[in-house]
Every structure is written in C-alpha cells, then in structure tokens.
Structure 1
Amino acid sequence: MSDHFDAINDSVRAALATSHDPTFVDVPFDTRAWQELDQLGFTTLALPSELGGSDGDLRDAAVACRSAALAAIPLTEANFLAVPALASAAVSWPGGVVTAAPAPELSLEGSDGVLSGRIARVPWLRYADHLVLILTGDSTTRLAVVATTAPGLTVVPGANVAGEPRDEALLTQVRPLVVADLPRVWDSTLVAQYGAAGRATQIAAAASEALALAARHTCERIQFGRPLARFQSVQHQLAQLAADAVTLQTAADAAVIALRDRTSQTPLLVAAAKIESSVLARRVSAVAHQLHGAIGFTTEHRLGACTTRMWSWREEFGNETIWKHRIADLVAMNDEDVWALLTDLVLDIRTEARA
C-alpha cells in the first residue's frame, strides 16, 4: 500500500483492536468502534468538510471499509451509499449512527412531503440514529434523511445468514428531516453500482482474511509428523485461494476507482467486480473450510464469520446472474462487439490497484 492508504488501514485496525472477534450468531452492534471511527472521520471519508466530512474520496473510503469489513457496524453503508448521496445533494452529515438504503418503491406524498411504505433488509437499522434513503421511484431521484425515532417508523428485526441485522422499515406518514433533489445521473443503476462496489470490497476483504486464517492453520496443524502446509495438495489449495483473493481485490479496486472517477467503463468494471465476488465467494469458502476441517464450522472460529458474510453479501445489490445480464446489455449496446468493449478499457489502475 501507499503511505496514505497504510495510514488509513492502520488507524482503522487500531480502532478495532479491542473489539470482539466477529461471529455469525446474534451479532452485537459495536458501539465503541462506531464512535471511535466516527470521531476519527472514517464514517464520512468522501464527504466534503463543509458538509461535516473528511475531504477524502471513494478510494479512501474503500480502504477503510476493507479494514473494517467484518466489524459489526454499517461503515460500508455509510461510505458507499449515504456519503455519496449526501455529497451529491449538498446535505450535511446527520450525525450519530447512520445507515442507508435504496427505496425505489417510496415517494413523497402530498404537499407535506411524507413517506409511507416498506423497505426490506435495511442493514443495522435497529441500531441507527438516522436512515438515509435514496428515492429512485419518481422522475427525479431524491434523498431523504429520516430519524429512526420519527413517529410512524416501525422497525421489524431481521438478519442475514451471517447474523448481521437486516431489518424491515415500515413507514406510515413519516416526515423526513431533510429532503433534497439528487443530480440527474443518480438513478437506480448508479445506486446499485455504489452498493455493488461496496459489497465487492467487503467480499474481497473477507476472502483475504479467510486466506490468512487458512495459511496460519495449515502451518500450525501437524498431521503425519509434519505441518499440513508441507503437503503438495494443500499447497495447491492455498495457491488457488491466494489467486482468488488477489482477483477479488483487483476487481474491487478497479470498480471503486472507476466509480469514483465516473468513467465510461464504470458499468462494465462494477458489473465484473460483483460477478467475480459473487462467483468466487463460493469457491473461496469451500477451499478455506476444507483446509480447516471441522474446526472451521464452529461458531467460535473466525472463519465462519468470513464465509457466512461472503454468502450473504454475494446476494445483496444483485448476484452474479443479475450483473451478467447487465454486461450482456452493455455488449448489445456495443453492437455485440465483445472484443471492442473489453479493449476499449482505458482506466489505468496500475498505480492505485497496488495500494
């Protein structure tokens, strides 16, 4: 990494050093970690300082989210959904614990501008102070900031397979704290791209952690008088795991950089990253569990927190099938010239992707 990204990574990891090991059963919210990262400015990395942010960019945010991928806080939702939308709408950071969600089925009602409807699977909603909604259902995309204590808002608890909260929000005549129009470029596709890039970043981080755990376990575990890592078949599996982890990280980096710069290659690179992360999550999980044996399936072992999160995140903001269809649409719009679509990529990620 560069010194700049090293500093972000080290600071985030230091803030999480005293947090409990991640689990996939009844995941508790890490209040202390959120407060410390919020005070350090890592919850608002890509938000301008005049709006209460840290004047960084999406690449900085991705490094922080990668370092805190397994943490029990909505850091990715804040940095990949709430912050970009708030920055585009010139709305200040609302403060406290902030989560965010797309709300394509909601729209402002009447002259009072209230919200009614249902939003499924909102990450960490039960612990949030504010919910940032991106309303893409009307001709004009709008941002709405809602206090979670607002009258008419009911939270129905839920969870994904990793135990992370995925709550249902039921809104009945809820009056937002802030409503603002977003630029025309903000549509359901761009919202999905931000979400997909965030999940690809998290999956890449979880895969890297699974690799580190597998490498350590196979070096420590003695079988037939020697470490497992000395067996050729195990070495081949570790090599495959390492290759997949690098592939995931490179794809996620490319997607984040393209999304930050809003290049013409953004749709293709984000789609490719989410496809790779969703597809490889299965193989990474299988190999890592095979290398660990039965111990990797226990609730006490950190590996389960990695793999169950990958299984959950691969489905969020579109699985591989959905994004494959999007690439097919891009090919169709490019006169079905796949070669031209690929060779026209001009994004230079060589310097940044090494960070």
Structure 2
Amino acid sequence: MTGTSEMANILAEAAGRLLEDHVTRDVLSAAEDGTWPQDLWQELEQNGLTQPLAPEDRGGMGATFADAFVIAFAAGRRRAPVPLVETMAAGWLLGRAGIDVPPGPLALIDGGGDLALKDGALSGVAKSVPWAAQAGHLVVEIDGTVLLVPADAVTLTPDSNMAGEPRGTVTLEAAKPAATGSLGLTGNLPVARTLGALMRAAQMAGAMEGAVTLAVQHAGDREQFGRPIAKFQAIQQMLARAAARAAQARSAAETAFLALDRVGDDLTDAEWDVAAAKVVAGEAAEIVYDAAHQTHGAIGFTYEHELHFTTRRLWAWRGEFGAETYWAQEIGQRVLARGADTLWPDLTARQKG
C-alpha cells in the first residue's frame, strides 16, 4: 500500500509531525470561533504539503495519489482546521486542466448542481462549500471544465457544519473566471464530487483511528470495580470491533487513492473505488463513534474533553460530497447496468489491480 514508498514515508512523517505540533486544543477552539490558524497554514504551505498532487510546472510537488493519501489521512487524524484536502484536490484539477495553481487556500466546488456556464461566465448557487470564506480562489468543475474563480467575484453567505468548520453558500452572477481549462476525462459523475468524496474517505479513516486511540487510552486509565475498564471483555470486544472497522476504512480509502493513479483519461473505474471507500467509511463511522463515546461515558460528551473534536468532524464529513447512501446507490446502479455476471470478475480484477 502507500506506506511502502519513500515519498509516502517522507510525507507521512512531515505531515504527522507538523500537524501534531500545531493543531492544539487552543487552535481547534479558536478555529471554531472564527480565528484562521495562519501559522499552521503557512507551515503546511512552506513544506509543500498543500500541493502534493499538482505537477511541478504548475506549482505543485508532482506526487502520486498513493503518496498523497498519507497527508489526507493525517489531516483527519489530527483534525486539521484548514482546507488542506480541498486545496490538494483543487490543485490536481487545476494542474490537470493546464492552469497554474495560485498560492493560498482553495475552495473546491462541485458544479454538478445549480451552476451553469454560459459565454465564459458562471452563474448559479453552490451550497455548503467548505472553507469558501477562507479561500483566495474557488475551483469549480462543471462538465469536465475547470474554472479558477477569484473569491471577490462571488457573493458568500457564511455558515458552518456540526463540527464548527466553515461552510458557505456561494452565489455567482455571471462571474468571470481568471482561468479556464479542460480536464480531458470521461466518467459518470462530476470529477470534483469524486475527488471530494475521496478526500473525505481518507480524512474519516484518519479520524476513526484517532477516536479509537483515544478510547483505548481512556479504557486503560479509567478504573471500575478496582481495575481498568480495558480488562472487561465487553469493552475489549467493542474496541476491537471499532479498530477493525477503522482499519477497513483506511484500506478502502488507500485503494481508492491508488485507483486514481491508474485513471489515464477515464475516471469511470476509479469512481467505483471511491464509492466503495465512502460507503465503508460511512458505515464504519457509526460503529467507531458509538464505541468511542460508550467507552468514555459522559465525559466524552463534554466540551472540555477532546473527543468531540474528532467525532463531530467524523459525523459532519460522513455527509459531505455524498453520504454512504448516495454512493451505495451509485454502486448498485452500476452493478445492475453491467449485469450480475460481471460482478465477481469486476471485484476480483480490482483486488488484483
């Protein structure tokens, strides 16, 4: 998997160390109150972690998706309160479309909804756009066309998700993009939606590992009836099940990242892997959430405890860029369209790949 490459190991160490050092409880609380963590973003940008996927000649690192997985996973594991994965995905879109990547945070907009491109101008409304207020540019993908839209060309109505992360409704009225390019990709779904779901699956896998770690630590420290609750078989079984589902979510997300490296000019096959990753992550999230909070008891629901910073994000990310119900329907529709006889060969060929 991704951890075997030298680049992945370097990125994992750099991202993990940087996020662990800079994402403190105070930073998380301040971010929920609207304070932008400039020092964190500056460190991420200076270390090249915001643009691993864009080609070098467009301002990126030119890394593979397999290598970049560890950054997205670390962003979820450490609860990074910045648009790191959105900027990564937007950078790949820009690079693929032959557009230079501007510095600073980028917002990713799925143009598959109420957006229309006419005479080179973009109009419509995009709801619940992650980090729109913090982005210098918005990257919109609509029908295979990528548009780099300056933030001052749109109207923003700010909001937030249940984790306190900034979201916003973006209104565009004949907005003129700073640059436009074509992806040259075929597929069944909006590319930005697929990339967003891919990134959320990795973040959720990281968050689940973090939640399990906190639960295991608490179970070892908390005593009942004269011994740590980790000694009780019911707790052990519950945490083992949660750990297994978290590991499954990570494996599915890694597989989807690997699939993006095999795309070529056709995204159709990789969409299947992304759908599976988001479904696995969504189903696992409920099990991990329940286990983590049941292990912690009442203290896990208090604002003073750090668990909620992880579990609220896990719950919010579950529904973004398509919940598991949406992606499960995509899988089902494709299976029906291809016929029952192709299901087993499709699954086994993908496993070998």
Alignment TM-score > 0.5, same fold: yes
Structure 1: give runs of 5+ residues left out of the alignment.
349-355
**Greater displacement, 121-130 / 325-334:** 325-334
AA aligned opposite 1:72: P
CA distance in structure 1 between the partners assigned to 2:215 and 2:272 by the alignment: 32
The change in CA–CA distance for 1:186 and 1:330 in structure 2 (over 3 A counts) is closer
- Cα RMSD (Å): 1.9
CA distance in structure 1 between the partners assigned to 2:221 and 2:32 by the alignment: 27
Match of 2:44 in 1: 37
Contact persistence 1:211–1:238 (CA under 8 A): yes
CA distance in structure 2 between the partners assigned to 1:134 and 1:58 by the alignment: 19
- Measured after TM superposition, the shift of residue 29 of structure 1 is 3.0
2:76 matched to 1:72? no
Query: TM-score, structure 1 length as denominator?
Result: 0.90
AA aligned opposite 1:131: L
Contact persistence 2:160–2:168 (CA under 8 A): yes
The change in CA–CA distance for 1:276 and 1:91 in structure 2 (over 3 A counts) is same
CA distance in structure 2 between the partners assigned to 1:209 and 1:27 by the alignment: 24
- Measured after TM superposition, the shift of residue 109 of structure 1 is 2.9
Identical-residue share of aligned pairs (%): 35
- After the TM superposition, list the runs of 4 or more consecutive aligned residues in structure 1 that deviate by more than 6 angstroms: none
Structure 2 counterparts to residues 122-133 of structure 1, below 5 A: 122-133=129-140
Structure 2 counterparts to residues 101-140 of structure 1, below 5 A: 101-104=109-112, 105-110=114-119, 113-136=120-143
Query: TM-score, structure 2 length as denominator?
Result: 0.90
2:145 matched to 1:145? no
- Measured after TM superposition, the shift of residue 181 of structure 1 is 2.2
CA distance in structure 2 between the partners assigned to 1:184 and 1:6 by the alignment: 30
Provide the secondary structure at the position in 1 that maps to 2:261.
helix
Q: Provide Cα deviations, 1:63-89, integer angstroms capped at 9, x if missing partner.
A: 111112211111111112x12211211
CA distance in structure 1 between the partners assigned to 2:331 and 2:224 by the alignment: 46
Provide the secondary structure at the position in 2 that maps to 1:291.
helix
- Measured after TM superposition, the shift of residue 260 of structure 1 is 2.0
- Measured after TM superposition, the shift of residue 27 of structure 1 is 5.9
2:261 matched to 1:260? yes
- Matched residue pairs, number? 339
1:344 to 320, 324, 349: 349
CA distance in structure 2 between the partners assigned to 1:87 and 1:13 by the alignment: 26
Contact persistence 2:41–2:82 (CA under 8 A): yes
Provide the secondary structure at the position in 2 that maps to 1:158.
strand
Contact persistence 1:157–1:165 (CA under 8 A): yes
Contact persistence 2:111–2:190 (CA under 8 A): no
Structure 2: give runs of 5+ residues left out of the alignment.
none
Name the structure with the higher helix share: 2
Contact persistence 1:65–1:202 (CA under 8 A): yes
- Measured after TM superposition, the shift of residue 55 of structure 1 is 1.5
2:69 matched to 1:62? yes
Contact persistence 2:186–2:268 (CA under 8 A): no
